[in-house]
Amino acid sequence: MSTAVLFDRYGTVDELYVADLPVPSPGADEVVVRYQSIGVNPIDWKILRGDLADRLPLAMPSGPGVEAAGTVVAVGPGVTRFKNGDPVIRHGRPGTYRLHEMVSTLPEADELTPMPARFTAEQAAVLPVAAGTAFSALRQVGLGAGQRLLVHGASGGVGLATVQLAFLLGAAEVIGTASAHHHGLLRSMGATPVEYGDGLEDRLAAYSPPDASVDCAGGPQPYATAVQLINDPARRVTIVPESADMQVPLVDHIPKELPATLSLIGDHPFHLPVTGRYSLASAAEALTVSQKGGVGGKLVLLTGS
């Protein structure tokens, strides 16, 4: 038997329940993956809440989770890209809060990527949303070597990935807004931390103007400072849909985002701090912590396998 965290209707974490399910059998071009680690993201509680119901209607029962890492344990007919025992990263479509999942291996489905040996399953599971989104955002604003970047929400999952990838792209300076208690973390990654909130504009004025900005927080202040400090709208981006418009465009995810991101990371140092670990049965607790904010890294569900 296997386990999955499901919900039958949109709502709060009270809608979540743990179901015992048979281990699936793979069909043509599919594999079954047994997950070791599953990333927890704000998008998970937004999907559960029904925020995306208009553009991404879910068949019920459904489940949260858009990323995970584990091992291929069964291979269906026609599969050539993966074999039993392969470590893989799953990304994209919702439903990863489970122990086993059937996953398409078709390149056009773009759901499965080989896990580089350098990553633990825990680190691999949190790469798709954080590092993938950061990479697309940096590509969109055209960050180049020697340039200065402003990152709003730099201490969050996507923000910390943005800081690290910006330096891999050759950024000369990364200024990151965050709560004061996350400033040490940002400094350890080479960024210059600045506290958000009242007086932010004055604090930012102490630094040379950035060439580009990535908003990983949303809201009026990141929007206003991006418009104030950077002339060209093409060099501003937000990852928060509610904060996007023509002046600060929404991130446009590039095709094959995760493989491209992994190519940039290569063997360079790259690490996302994991500040909370939960079992599948405690998924509701993990989502509540994510929704409260102030995580300072990533949360994961561990299956113990």
Take residue 180 and report the two structure tokens written for it.
């004061």
Q: How many CB atoms lie within 10 A of CB 283?
A: 25
- Using CB under 6 A, pick the residue from 138, 251, 262, 280 that binds ligand NAP: 251
Q: What SS3 string covers 9-69?
A: CCCCHHHCEEEEECCCCCCCCEEEEEEEEEEECHHHHHHHHCCCCCCCCCCCCECCCCEEE
Instruction: For residue 82, state whether it binds ligand NAP (rule: CB under 6 A).
Output: no
CB of 221 to ligand NAP, least distance (A): 6
Contact 165, 138 (CB under 8 A): yes
Buried b / exposed e along 230-269 (16+ C-beta atoms within 10 A): beeeebbbbbbeebbeeebebbebeeebbeebbeebeeee
- Using CB under 6 A, pick the residue from 129, 204, 214, 280 that binds ligand NAP: 129
**Beta carbon nearer to ligand NAP, 82 or 167:** 167
Q: CA angle, corner 235, sides to 230 and 237, nearest 5?
A: 105
Instruction: For residue 291, state whether it binds ligand NAP (rule: CB under 6 A).
Output: no
Instruction: For residue 61, state whether it binds ligand NAP (rule: CB under 6 A).
Output: no
Instruction: For residue 26, state whether it binds ligand NAP (rule: CB under 6 A).
Output: no
By CB under 6 A, the residues from 185 to 244 that bind ligand NAP are 196, 216-219, 221-222, 239-240
CB of 276 to ligand NAP, least distance (A): 11
**Beta carbon nearer to ligand NAP, 129 or 149:** 129
Chain contacts with ligand NAP (rule: CB under 6 A): 41-43, 46, 129, 133, 152-153, 155-159, 177-179, 182, 196, 216-219, 221-222, 239-240, 251, 293-296
